[in-house]
Chain A
Amino acid sequence: MSPNKLTVLVVDDEKSLRDFVKRNLEVRGYQALTAANGLEALALFESNAVNLVILDLMMPYMNGLETIRRLRQTSQTPIIVLSALGEEEDKIQALNRGADDYLTKPFGVGELLARVQAVLRRAQVAKRPSTDALLVRGPLTADLDRHEIKLNQKPLDLTPTEFSLLVYFMENEGKVLPHQTILRHVWGPEYGQETEYLRVYIGRLRQKIEPDSARPRYLRTERGIGYSFITY
């Protein structure tokens, strides 16, 4: 296993689909591991350094959602969900559990690869070159170098996407940021329509930084437009 190759764990109970993803990833330089169900996936995840998990939701022997939950207990490794269920509720449920992206079956190879790259890119944000910059906004202090944000001197536990999103808000304090702009900046240029991602992530950030998440003070909803971040 080459150390510079990124390892992707592909989990799907349908062999044909699993093989299709695996072969496409391998041919493009990723190392692919496959599992037919959640239990297998967890075992493989434990024993390998996995950079990305691609996970089907409806599987026997531990379904996708439960698998995400277990994965998220120990790791912030990006997860892309594959599902035949395309409803917004299903997406939000998956995102809430900690998925980073969501692909509805059927999907094309291009789409899959774009998402894989975008998710991996977001995960790489923390590994940007050091800037020595400390971003201070109200009670929040972001240390971009150390991939850490503190609230009232206490470090927050954030996923890479959450980190990127919050940093983006802090950099643009006081501006009203439309949904599409946020998605393109944080998730990547492939995104733009996935407003439910934002709802999930904004919700999660509010849980983490707002004194009262039901009445947000910093992360404000600009109805019909997007969000804004204000600490003053």
Chain B
Amino acid sequence: MRSLRLRRDLGLQVLALYLIFVGLVVASTLVFENFASRRLQADVQAADLALARAIAQETSTFTNNALQAVSRLADYPAVVAADNGGMTEIFRTVLDVRSEVNLVYRLNEQGVMLFHYPIEPGSTVGTDFSFRDYFQRALLANGPILSKGRISPTTNKPVATAVMPLWAENGRFLGVVGTNLKLESLSQTLGSIVGEYPSQEQMDILIVDDAGQIVAHTDSSLMLSDATETMPQVITAVLANATGSQIAPDLTGEEMLYSYVPIPSAGWGVVVSRPTAVAFASPSIFRRGALLAIVVFLIGGVIFWLIFSERVLRPIERLAYFSQSVGLEEAFSEDHRQKLATLTSRPDQMGLLMRSMTDMQQAIEARLNELSTLLETGRAVVSSLDSVVVLDTILAQVERLLDVNMSAIFAYDEARNIFRVRASRNLPDWYIQQAVINPSDPSSITMRTIRSGQPIQIDDTETNPSFKAHRDRARAAGYRSVMAVPLLTQHAPPTALLVFRPDPHEFTQREGNLLSSFATQAAMAIENAALFARSDMRLQEQTRRLEALVQSMQDGLILENLEGRVIYANRRIAELSGLPPEQIQQSPVDDVMAHLLRRAPDKENAVTAVATALHPHGEHKANLALVYPDQTIYLRLKVFEVTDSQGLPLGRGRILQDITQRQELDRMKSSLIATVSHELRTPLAAIKGYATTLLAEDVEWDMASQREFLEIISQESDHLNNLVNDLLDMSRLEAGNLTVRRIACDLGELIGQAALRAHPQPGERLLVNLPPDLPPIYADPRRIESVLRNLIENAAKYGGEGRIWITAVSQPTHLTIYVQDEGPGIDAQHAERIFTSFYRLENGLTRNASGAGLGLSIARGFVRLHGGEIWVEPKPSGACLAFSLPLQASGPQWASFAASED
């Protein structure tokens, strides 16, 4: 985490680097300082030692001189002899020559003062000095010896005595001669040496004798004091003939540097002492310097870091924030804005960076603006199919983005073979009126851009030679520069987008590209509109077709809205309700239904049935029968909900399906069953009836009756057989697999057989009238006989008790046979329908068919198989059915037909 933060924060990194640098500097300084101070200390010690050595050398010389001088005194006989006069002379000379000597004296063999020079008032002659150490030592010595320091009782001065024992020739001890050396002179020497050093050095130099007494000191007050008390170790060392340095506290506790050198010739030692604070003053100054340098480094570092942070890091952070905000529509705070402005105004690289970023940001924002405008335009294009609105939107955006004051879209007008303004902004009306461009106009910028497919611009209409022809118009309209781009359309006529500026202006590549983008959008809008117009046309056509279909439907259709008003009703509804179509529209659907239900025979039930069908949880179905003057129409009402795509109700639809025909068919089917059942059971009933009659045991029938009954059974069986054959023929006819076998046959014979087999028998009522020259007909005799039988039965059944005529008329190509009765006749409206299967006339009182309703249908099937036709011949009274049969001569096709049949 911390390392991450360090990695992210340049300021911290710089700080860390700086700290490492400072640390190294401090460490090396400390090492160096340590090393240097040691060197300095060693130097100081060496210097002190050298000084001590020099003093030791000098002192040694001093003492050696004194010892040599005193030893030479022993050579003097006057001295040996203790001759005062001679000694005075000699001693005076010595004193004169040697300034360091303040007394020369002579002791006898007992140590009593014999003589001394100078002779002072406080003379010690006669005083016994045998207790003196030097005297004791002299008794045992051959050469000169040096005494320890002491106060001379004679001179009252601190002195050290150089003594030479005097030995007689015979080896008798004669006493000693001695010179007192002024210790002051040594001290003076030391003082002069110290005086060469700066006073603050506080240097002390002292010389100790072999007893540890100070015999010379820079401070004369300490003369002859015991040095072993103040610096015991140093004195011990130096008196042990050691050379060296020691650091030890003095009596006041101050730390001192002692350097010491022995003087072997005298058994003395030299000690140079200084307080370490003074001695090592140079290293500590150096250390302070190093410390100061570190502090300076630190302060400098902080100042550098602050400046670095303020001048570099912060601006970089601001730049980063600024660059992040590019493209986002975030407002900067006033403070931030000001800081950015300050940053921008900086003359250094940071300012340069900021300025270039500002430029970049402006460029990006401009581009974003363009893009968002284009996007908006694109949205406008897809949001509306109204090309006028869309094109106006596009032009408005063009003006906003391109800084032009006028714009127009020129499109080709196919009808007039010209280009003219399709959409425009800010163009004067007269311009729009006059701006009619001939497609062959070479100078027209519109035509040029469309032809070339490239943007064309006139940067100054006044100077561009190619624009000369239109210059006046440009002046009047108030533009100086113009740019045109083509619209690339596939499904719409050629079009161009033009923009105008009031000043001379060279359109940049960017502006050109932008305009092209708009041109693409405009092209899309125009294409959309064109395609929509086409699809709209198609839709309208489809609607018309659908309308025609719905209108021509045999079923009625009503659409109602939620308020229950008719919003659509087809023609059939108008027909069924008897209301004019325009009155049905918008009128309450209940009114229309009421009009329809007026015709229901059981109005109350019908209304209930409709209400049930309309009930939300009802069956949505109801069957209605409406009675019209000419017919009864059966309708099935189907109710359906009309919903929108979300399933919300929009209204309701009602279909009035015309099921009259189906009803008829159903009725006919059930009628067929009833009829066939009746027709088959009727002969069966007779057969069974007569059979059981014969079998009945309670009655004995005579032979004639029995025979009659059996004949009836036989006849009825034949009748039953005919019926079964008819039914089979019928089904074969309907299946289309009936074959006819044509042979030449006589019509009269066929009529005779048919009459015999007819049921009921026409008997005497049948009158046949055939022309004598009737040619033979080529036909399937069984089928034609069946046709005739059916017609005769029909006449016998429906013709009442009247007569039945059969006539035939021969024509060149065909033969027509008529069967007429005296019955009530056939209504013209039934004339065609009686030939359909199971159709029976129902006419109130007049009839209820007992025929199967198959006869005429079968007859027609057979006649048609022969290439003929059957129909109802209109007659003023009675019914007349006629059929035609082609004659053999009628054509080869039926011969071949016949041949193929065989």
Residues of chain A at the chain B interface (Cβ within 8 Å) = 13-17, 19-21, 23-24, 27-28, 39, 58-63, 82-86, 105-110
Shortest Cβ-Cβ A-B pairs, 8 listed: A106-B688, A84-B681, A105-B685, A108-B692, A84-B678, A20-B689, A16-B686, A106-B685
Whether the Cβ atoms of B797 and A14 lie closer than 8 Å is no
CA distance in complex: A62, B848 (Å)? 7
- Whether A17 lies near B686 (C-beta < 8 A) is yes
B693 touches A109 (CB 8 A): yes
Residues of B at the A interface (CB closer than 8 Å) are 674, 677-690, 692-693, 695-696, 698-699, 701, 705, 709, 712, 715-716, 760, 797-798, 845-850
**In the assembled complex, how far is the CB of residue B732 from the closest CB belonging to chain A, in whole angstroms?**
25
**A63: B residues at CB distance < 8 A:** 848
Do A61 and B845 have beta carbons less than 8 Å apart?
Answer: yes
A/B interface sample: 27 pairs, CB < 8 A:
A14-B682, A14-B686, A16-B683, A17-B685, A20-B709, A20-B712, A28-B698, A58-B674, A58-B849, A59-B848, A60-B798, A61-B846, A63-B848, A84-B678, A84-B681, A84-B682, A84-B685, A85-B674, A106-B684, A106-B685, A106-B686, A106-B689, A107-B688, A107-B689, A109-B689, A109-B692, A110-B692
Contacts of B685 in A (CB 8 A): 14, 17, 82, 84, 105-107
Interfacial chain A residues near B688, Cβ < 8 Å: 105-108
Q: Which residues of the partner chain A approach B847 to less than 8 Å between Cβ atoms?
A: 60-61
Closest to A103 in B: B685
- Asked whether, in the complex, the Cβ of B678 is within 8 Å of the Cβ of A58, the reply is yes
Q: From known contacts A58-B850, A61-B846, infer whether A106 and B693 are also in contact, taking CB-CB under 8 Å.
A: no
Q: Which residues of B contact A107 (CB under 8 A)?
A: 685, 688-689
* A20–B690 touching, CB < 8 Å: yes
Residues of A within 8 A of B690 (CB): 16, 20
Check A109 against B696 for contact (C-beta < 8 Å). yes
Q: In the complex the two chains form, is B699's CB within 8 Å of A28's CB?
A: yes
**A58 CA / B853 CA spacing, docked (Å):** 13
What chain B residues lie within 8 Å of A85 (beta carbons)? 674, 677-678
Once the chains are docked, how many angstroms separate the CA of A85 from the CA of B631? 28
Partner of A60, one of B680, B696, B846: B846
The docked-state distance in angstroms from the alpha carbon of A61 to that of B798 is 10
Q: Contacts A17-B682, A60-B848 known; A84 to B689 CB distance under 8 Å?
A: no
Q: Which of A17, A19, A39, A86 interacts with B845 by CB under 8 Å?
A: A39
Tell me if A105 and B681 are in contact (CB < 8 A): yes
Residue of A nearest to B684 (CB): A106
Bound Cα distance A109, B697 (Å):
11
Report the minimal beta-carbon distance from A212 to chain B, rounded to whole angstroms: 19
A62 to B843, alpha carbons, bound, how many Å?
10
Q: With a CB–CB cut-off of 8 A, which chain A residues contact B686?
A: 14, 16-17, 20, 106
Q: Shortest Cβ distance from B778 into chain A, in angstroms?
A: 37
Distance A17 CA – B690 CA, assembled complex (angstroms): 8
For the complex, what is the distance from the CA of A27 to the CA of B692, rounded to whole Å?
Answer: 14
Q: Which among A15, A19, A84 has the greatest number of chain B C-beta atoms within 10 A?
A: A84
**Smallest CB gap from A19: residue in B:** B712
Q: How far is the CB of A19 from chain B (nearest CB, A)?
A: 8
Complex interface: chain B residues within 8 A of A23 (CB): 693, 705
Question: Which A residues touch B692, using CB under 8 A?
Answer: 108-110
The CA of A85 and the CA of B693, in the complex, are separated in Å by 22
Report Cα–Cα, A83/B695, bound state, in Å. 22
A19 to B711, CA, bound (A): 13
Minimum Cβ distance to chain B for residue A232 (Å): 37
Chain A residues within an 8 Å CB radius of B693 = 20, 23-24, 109
- State in angstroms the CA–CA spacing of A63 and B674 once bound together: 14
Beyond the given pairs A106-B685, A110-B696, 15 more chain A to chain B contacts, judged by CB atoms under 8 angstroms and listed by A's residue number, are: A13-B850, A20-B693, A24-B696, A24-B699, A39-B845, A60-B848, A62-B848, A82-B685, A83-B678, A84-B678, A84-B679, A84-B680, A107-B689, A109-B693, A110-B692
Q: Which residues of B contact A20 (CB under 8 A)?
A: 686, 689-690, 693, 709, 712
- The listed residue with most B CB atoms (<10 A of its CB), out of A83, A105, A108, is A105
A90 to B496 CA separation, bound complex (whole angstroms): 86
Q: Judging by beta carbons under 8 Å apart, are B845 and A21 in contact?
A: no
* CB pair A106 B681 closer than 8 Å: yes
Give chain A residues whose Cβ lies under 8 Å from the Cβ of B678.
Answer: 58, 83-85
Closest to A39 in B: B845
Closest-by-CB residue of A relative to B851 is A60
Q: CA of A60 to CA of B696 in the docked complex: distance in angstroms?
A: 31
A16 in contact with B716 (CB, 8 Å): yes
User: What chain A residues lie within 8 Å of B680 (beta carbons)?
Assistant: 84
In the complex, which residues of chain A have a beta carbon less than 8 angstroms from the beta carbon of B674? Answer: 58, 84-85
CB-defined contacts of B696 to chain A, threshold 8 Å:
24, 109-110
Closest to B674 in A: A85
CB distance from B329 to the nearest CB of A (A): 82
List of B residues within 8 angstroms of A83 by Cβ: 678
Q: How far is the CA of A60 from the CA of B849 in the complex (A)?
A: 6
Please measure, in the bound complex, the distance between the C-alpha atom of A15 and the C-alpha atom of B845, giving whole angstroms: 20
What is the distance, in angstroms, from A3's C-beta to the closest C-beta of chain B?
24
Q: In the bound complex, what is the Cα–Cα distance between A51 and B13 (angstroms)?
A: 138
* Residue in B679, B699, B845 whose CB lies within 8 Å of A27: B699
In the bound complex, do residue B716 and residue A84 qualify as a contact, i.e. CB atoms below 8 Å apart? no
A-chain residues with CB within 8 Å of residue B846 when the two chains form the complex: 60-61
Residues of A within 8 A of B709 (CB): 20
- Docked complex Cα distance between A149 and B859 (Å): 59
Cβ contact within 8 Å between A59 and B689: no
Residues of B near A17 (CB, < 8 A) are 682, 685-686, 689
B797-A21 in contact (CB<8A): no
Interfacial chain A residues near B760, Cβ < 8 Å: 15
Q: A62 to B689, Cβ gap below 8 A?
A: no
